[in-house]
């Protein structure tokens, strides 16, 4: 026996959807330039840090850019020496003003070409230290390192050594996603849409993990209703710190319809459905005596049934074995 307590019951409707990667935090890592894949560093499922190398390619474009840089550096040195000689000769009237001006113009053009060549090499991801090393060692390296633009997990790998790649040609050699959050895509009945709002928190459940609850936030409500199904696509972001959710999983979430109501609540096992459809409970009378009472029930949530009529807070009811008591009474009355 247990005294009846007042509990909160919320009118709510459920919607069903599917889990997907958070596409705003998922990146297809294409090669920025054409080339041949040389080496792969990550497998599907591996963690990847931001700016960590995923794969390398042999790039003829990088080779050309580095060659141009070395050529520009050589031209700059030549024009700088020519300008110094022109200045010395001009001081002793060995050359005319126009010759000095031409040497100065050549040197300035060489400086511009050298800076442009440096920038062209940096586009390939080379650092200032890399550029300095190329110039000092006069060594050309055609290996281009393709890095992960975000921290996350490798969700797909469609590459192999020797494969020729082109920028933007699907499939991308790698796909990386931040899997700490997922999308929940659900088609919600149009008459339930007024109950939703942007930023609203949802309690999400998936069939794969019974009893587990995930917190979602509504981030997008479709602008149009599907004329065939009369449903609206709603997108929510769900936190998944343990990375349990998988794209394609079925998920449900509850949509609250109004404020929570406080009513007497009885555990599910304390309610008996009679053959005529009425609901009954066993109420304690004078200590050890029990009597069967018809009640009107409402919502069922969190293991409790809402009692709308027929029972008051504080009355003691049988919370276990109610069906056994009902069957015993029925057998005794025969």
pLDDT at residue number 221: 94
pLDDT at residue number 183: 95
C-alpha–C-alpha distance, residues 105 and 332, integer Å: 116
C-alpha–C-alpha distance, residues 65 and 49, integer Å: 28
pLDDT at residue number 334: 47
Task: Kindly state the average pLDDT of the residues 178-182.
Answer: 92
Of 29-33, 90-94, 213-217, the poorest mean pLDDT is in 90-94
Residue 321 DSSP code: S
pLDDT at residue number 29: 95
3-state secondary structure of 230: coil
Q: CATH class for domain 60-137?
A: mainly alpha
212, two tokens: 């587990």
C-alpha–C-alpha distance, residues 145 and 37, integer Å: 10
pLDDT at 39 over 90: yes
Q: Omega into 117 within 30° of 0, i.e. cis?
A: no
110, two tokens: 């060489």
pLDDT at 201 over 60: yes
pLDDT at residue number 303: 84
Confidence of residue 259 (pLDDT cuts 50, 70, 90): confident
Q: CATH class for domain 12-22+180-256?
A: mainly beta
Hey, what CATH topology would domain 33-58+145-177 get?
OB fold (Dihydrolipoamide Acetyltransferase, E2P) (2.40.50)
Task: Kindly state the average pLDDT of the residues 184-190.
Answer: 93
CB atoms within 10 A of CB 149: 13
pLDDT at residue number 262: 86
- Kindly report the CA angle at 297 between 260 and 274, in degrees rounded to 5? 160
Q: Select from 200, 217, 204 the least CA-distant residue to 244.
A: 204
Distances (CA, A) of 63 to 32, 55, 59, 73, 120: 14, 18, 6, 15, 11
32, two tokens: 């920025």
CATH number given to 260-332: 2.40.420.20
Confidence of residue 11 (pLDDT cuts 50, 70, 90): confident
> What residues form DSSP beta bridges with 92?
none
Of 27-31, 148-152, 208-212, 215-219, the poorest mean pLDDT is in 208-212
Task: Kindly state the average pLDDT of the residues 277-292.
Answer: 80
- Phi, psi for 90 (deg, rounded to 5): -65, -35
331, two tokens: 């057998």
- Cβ pair 23, 284 in contact under 8 A: no
Q: Is 94 left (phi over 0), alpha (psi -120 to 50) or beta?
A: alpha
Domain chopping of the chain, boundaries: 12-22+180-256, 33-58+145-177, 60-137, 260-332
Q: What is the pLDDT of residues 304-334, one digit of tens each?
A: 888 888 888 888 888 776 666 656 555 545 4
Percent of the chain with pLDDT over 90: 49
C-alpha–C-alpha distance, residues 12 and 95, integer Å: 93
Summary mean pLDDT of the chain = 88
Q: What is the pLDDT of residues 125-166, one digit of tens each?
A: 888 888 888 898 888 888 899 999 999 999 999 989 999 999
Of 125-139, 214-228, 253-267, 291-305, the poorest mean pLDDT is in 253-267
Task: Kindly state the average pLDDT of the residues 249-260.
Answer: 82
pLDDT at residue number 321: 62
Q: What residues have CB less than 8 Å from 332, skipping those under 6 apart?
A: none
C-alpha–C-alpha distance, residues 103 and 124, integer Å: 33
Residue of higher predicted confidence among 322 and 293: 293
pLDDT at residue number 287: 63
C-alpha–C-alpha distance, residues 306 and 311, integer Å: 10
pLDDT at 47 over 50: yes
């Amino acid at each position: 026996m247990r005294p009846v307590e007042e509990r909160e019951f919320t009118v709510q409707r459920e919607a069903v959807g599917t889990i997907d990667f958070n596409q705003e935090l998922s990146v297809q890592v294409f090669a920025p330039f054409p080339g041949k894949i040389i080496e792969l560093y990550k497998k599907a499922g591996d963690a990847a840090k931001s700016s960590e190398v995923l794969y390398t390619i042999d790039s003829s474009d990088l080779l050309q850019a580095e060659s141009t840089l070395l050529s520009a550096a050589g031209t700059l040195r030549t024009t700088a020496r020519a300008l110094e000689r022109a200045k010395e000769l001009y001081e002793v009237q060995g050359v005319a003003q126009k010759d000095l001006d031409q040497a100065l113009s050549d040197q300035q053009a060489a400086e511009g070409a050298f800076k442009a060549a440096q920038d062209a090499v940096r586009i390939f991801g080379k650092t200032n230290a890399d550029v300095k090393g190329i110039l000092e060692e006069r060594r050309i390296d055609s290996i281009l390192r393709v890095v992960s633009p975000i921290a996350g997990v490798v969700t797909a790998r469609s590459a192999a050594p020797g494969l020729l790649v082109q920028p933007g040609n699907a499939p991308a050699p790698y796909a990386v996603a931040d899997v700490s959050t997922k999308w929940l895509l659900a088609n919600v009945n149009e008459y339930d849409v007024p109950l939703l709002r942007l930023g609203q928190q949802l309690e999400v459940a998936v069939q794969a993990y019974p009893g587990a609850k995930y917190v979602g936030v509504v981030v997008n409500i479709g602008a149009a209703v599907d004329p065939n199904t009369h449903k609206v696509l709603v997108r929510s972001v769900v936190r998944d710190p343990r990375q349990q959710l998988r794209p394609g999983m079925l998920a449900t979430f509850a949509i609250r319809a109004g404020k929570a109501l406080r009513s007497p609540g009885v555990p599910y096992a304390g309610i008996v459905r009679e053959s005529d459809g009425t609901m009954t409970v066993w109420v304690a009378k004078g200590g050890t005596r029990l009597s069967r009472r018809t009640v009107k029930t409402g919502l069922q949530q969190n293991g409790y049934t809402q009692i709308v009529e027929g029972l008051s807070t504080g009355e003691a009811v049988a919370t276990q074995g109610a069906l056994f008591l009902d069957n015993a009474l029925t057998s005794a009355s025969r």
